[in-house]
A and B are shown apart, each in its own frame.
Chain A
Amino acid sequence: MKNVISIKDFKKEDFDLVFSVAEDIEKNPSKYNKILDGKVISSIFYEPSTRTRLSFDSAIKKLGGNAIGFSDTASISVKKGETFLDTIKMVSSYSDLIVTRTNIEGAPRIASEITDVPVINAGDGKNQHPTQTFLDLYTIKKEKGSLENLSIGFLGDLKYGRTVYSLLQAIILYKPKKIKLIAHAFFQIDRSYLDMLREHNVDFEVLEDINDNLRDLDVLYVTRTQIERIADAIDLEPLKKRYTITKEILDNSSNPNLIVLHPLPRVYEITKDVDDTPYALYFKQAKNGVVVRQALICICMGLIKNE
């Protein structure tokens, strides 16, 4: 594994390797804290980011590396009209690995093809957000013990939320027991993903309301409405109450083992009274982003020896 571009590129063995390295990093952090000594990692973020950028910065520093880059395009040569490809070629000569986020879909893929340094996709428009999927799966595996045969519900914006697409592409490798896709018709998942689930013989349901649909789930993955990606005008107010998860809703599901994940930022979709309950895994999920990204950086740079 040299690049992390799209979840579609990975097999189960690749996920297992990342989880195994992330676990080792958690247990033995001092083993890794100089592994990037003398190395420079570039973070080039054309779109705003809090968690992803900060967790990559943290991951790089915890591995003993140096981080350079930019997180907005206001004051850089992009404003002068420099193309993405030229920027990648230039940044490649300054760094040992590139992490990039952009709204141009497919840009990380071409980046990995024009440079010899590893490239990690930190999100490309509506397309992929693979590192989020790695940490989502790692979180689920840590809590549930295994990723096999789980019942997973997806709630909220399933149309514009790239984390949903990436996670679905990955979870089918683990033969889920059931997938529930709970969203307003406007935000329901693209039909091509239903075709994908059918091709993999996954039992799924397309639902429009929360109702009694949490009772048999192992995991509920909640997403924010991606307003910034919506071209059509839509009034969100009527949707807010209908698709908001509260402690009361979770308690009424009679499912004490249910875990709730969210890629964050959370806006209205999960109320604060859920935060201190055993259901709430989303802050642990964000925290896991650091070790998972540490693992991905080490693997992509060929620093993990097979034992």
Chain B
Amino acid sequence: MSEDKFFRQIGYINDGVVIDHISCGMAFDIVKILKLDALKDFVVVASNFKSNKYGAKDLIKIKSKELTDTELNKIALLSKHATINIINNGKVLKKWKVNLPDSIFNILKCNNPSCITNIEQIPTKFYVINKDLIKVRCHYCEKDQTNILIK
């Protein structure tokens, strides 16, 4: 049986969401940050799967799940090439590539220890200044950051 067929059978969902083209190795971070391991319905994670486009990719299938905007933004931050497939009655109802918004609210932690957001309880706000490099700027302390930390 091919890898592809094996994964389609073992990870079949009739309704839910498939996060495809996740950067290789990032699926486990996405599971952790979105707390997918705490869900009641099943989650299938495949890592280092063959990809025609990127060579290798990760995949996540989640039964009966709708992703919020916050969750979509987190996925975009962790894996900018990921695609979201909404599955309904066994068919792909909708499909799109994740896209980082221009501003990100209360998802990232500022990596500047002197920033007010790390000293007092204030929701963070960042501007995305380079979507390719995922470079963000803190609205408060104005520091540019590429090693992003998701709260």
Q: Which residues of A contact B (CB under 8 A)?
A: 6, 8, 83-85, 103-107, 109-110, 124-128, 192
Shortest Cβ distance from residue B69 to the other chain A in the assembled complex, whole angstroms: 22
Interface 0/1 of B115-150, CB less than 8 Å to A = 111011010000000000000001111111000000
Q: Which residues from chain A contact B115 at a C-beta distance below 8 Å?
A: 104-106
B52 at the binding interface (Cβ < 8 Å) = no
**A192 with B144: CB separation less than 8 A:** yes
**B116 with A106: CB separation less than 8 A:** yes
B114 at the binding interface (Cβ < 8 Å) = yes
Number of B interface residues in the complex (CB < 8 A): 15
Knowing A8-B142, A192-B144, the reply to whether A105 touches B114 (Cβ < 8 A) is yes
Name the residue in A8, A105, A107 with the highest tally of chain B Cβ atoms < 10 Å from its Cβ: A105
Q: How far is the CA of A125 from the CA of B138 in the complex (A)?
A: 15
**B120 with A127: CB separation less than 8 A:** no
Q: Which residues from chain B contact A124 at a C-beta distance below 8 Å?
A: 141
**B114 with A109: CB separation less than 8 A:** no
Q: Which residues from chain A contact B138 at a C-beta distance below 8 Å?
A: 106
**A106 with B120: CB separation less than 8 A:** no
Which B residue's beta carbon lies closest to that of A110? B116
B112 at the binding interface (Cβ < 8 Å) = yes
Knowing A103-B114, A125-B114, the reply to whether A109 touches B140 (Cβ < 8 A) is yes
**B139 with A104: CB separation less than 8 A:** no
Q: Which residues from chain A contact B112 at a C-beta distance below 8 Å?
A: 105
Q: Which residues from chain B contact A127 at a C-beta distance below 8 Å?
A: 141-142
Q: How far is the CA of A8 from the CA of B138 in the complex (A)?
A: 13
- Chain A interface mostly helix, strand, loop or mixed? mixed
Given contacts A104-B114, A109-B139, A110-B116, 6 further A-B contacts (CB under 8 A): A83-B120, A84-B120, A105-B140, A106-B115, A106-B140, A127-B141
Q: How far is the CA of A6 from the CA of B120 in the complex (A)?
A: 20
Q: Which residues from chain B contact A107 at a C-beta distance below 8 Å?
A: 116, 140
- Closest 8 pairs between A and B when the two form their complex, measured CB to CB: A106-B140, A105-B141, A106-B141, A106-B116, A107-B116, A105-B114, A109-B140, A104-B116
Q: Which residues from chain A contact B116 at a C-beta distance below 8 Å?
A: 84, 104-107, 109-110
- Contacts of B28-67 to chain A: CB distance below 8 A: none
Q: How far is the CA of A107 from the CA of B139 in the complex (A)?
A: 11
Q: Could you list 25 examples of A-B contacts with CB < 8 Å?
A: A6-B142, A8-B142, A83-B120, A84-B119, A84-B120, A85-B122, A103-B114, A104-B114, A104-B115, A104-B116, A104-B119, A105-B112, A105-B115, A106-B140, A107-B116, A107-B140, A109-B116, A109-B139, A124-B141, A125-B114, A125-B141, A126-B114, A127-B141, A127-B142, A128-B142
Q: How far is the CA of A84 from the CA of B121 in the complex (A)?
A: 11
Q: How far is the CA of A127 from the CA of B138 in the complex (A)?
A: 11
Q: How far is the CA of A191 from the CA of B138 in the complex (A)?
A: 17
- Contacts of B73-130 to chain A: CB distance below 8 A: 112, 114-117, 119-120, 122
Q: Which residues from chain B contact A110 at a C-beta distance below 8 Å?
A: 116, 122, 140
Name the residue in B116, B120, B122 with the highest tally of chain A Cβ atoms < 10 Å from its Cβ: B116
Q: How far is the CA of A128 from the CA of B141 in the complex (A)?
A: 9
Shortest Cβ distance from residue B136 to the other chain A in the assembled complex, whole angstroms: 13
Q: How far is the CA of A97 from the CA of B107 in the complex (A)?
A: 32
Q: How far is the CA of A291 from the CA of B136 in the complex (A)?
A: 37
Interface 0/1 of B5-18, CB less than 8 Å to A = 00000000000000
Q: How far is the CA of A109 from the CA of B119 in the complex (A)?
A: 14
Q: Which residues from chain B contact A83 at a C-beta distance below 8 Å?
A: 120
Q: How far is the CA of A124 from the CA of B115 in the complex (A)?
A: 10
Q: Which residues from chain A contact B139 at a C-beta distance below 8 Å?
A: 106, 109
Q: Which residues from chain A contact B117 at a C-beta distance below 8 Å?
A: 106
Q: How far is the CA of A228 from the CA of B7 in the complex (A)?
A: 59
Name the residue in A103, A106, A109, A128 with the highest tally of chain B Cβ atoms < 10 Å from its Cβ: A106
Which B residue's beta carbon lies closest to that of A6? B142
Q: How far is the CA of A109 from the CA of B142 in the complex (A)?
A: 10
